[in-house]
Amino acid sequence: MPIYEYRCSSCGHQQEYIQKVSDPVLTTCPACARDTYAKMLTAAGFQLKGSGWYATDFKNSGAKPASKPAEKTDKPAADKPASTPAGDTKAAAACGTACACS
């Protein structure tokens, strides 16, 4: 069902209603009870679903193709031994491993 937006020209009250196309147009304002309530012209929102032309032709029309990640030749940092000076307790706490320096 479409969403219609109404506005009162007397008091300025504005509200949205979900109505069938066949429902009568509202004319009485719920705020001031005058017959100056009118349907506004607004943009309709919609969502396309399924596997039609829009899914195949326009799905990623503005997106750039993903680039491949650069290959690394270095070994991961976990394979490298942690080197901490013997008297440096801040560095020992930062490395998070149980080593002789802590």
pLDDT in the model for residue 89: 53
User: Beta partners for 8?
Assistant: 37
Instruction: Give the number of C-alpha atoms closer than 13 A to the C-alpha of residue 24, restricted to the C-beta side.
Output: 4
Beta strands in the chain (DSSP E): 3-8, 14-18, 37-39
pLDDT per residue as tens digits for the range 21-32: 899 999 999 999
User: How high is the pLDDT of residue 94?
Assistant: 56
